[in-house]
Amino acid sequence: MTMKNQSSFHKRVKNIEIACERHNVSSEVLRRFWEINKLKGREAE
């Protein structure tokens, strides 16, 4: 992953976290979402 991709990825993550807080999404859902994203990230590399 390039540095540019990395920073935009982190921005997106931050936005997701903020959105989850706003919508009061449980951490369990967020964790599951993270697992899926990590797998996708590995495939993309």
* Domain ranges for the chain: 4-41
Q: Give the type of residue at 31.
A: R
Q: How far apart are CA 45 and CA 18, in angstroms?
A: 26
Q: Is pLDDT at 2 greater than 70 in this prediction?
A: no
Over residues 16-42, the mean pLDDT reads 78
Q: For the chain, what percent of residues have pLDDT higher than 90?
A: 0
Return d(Cα 22, Cα 37) in angstroms, integer. Answer: 21
pLDDT beyond 80 at 5: no
Is residue 44's pLDDT more than 80? no
Half-sphere exposure of 19 (CA within 13 A, CB side): 8
d(CA 25, CA 7): 24
The whole-number pLDDT of residue 45 equals 60
Q: What is the pTM of this model?
A: 0.33
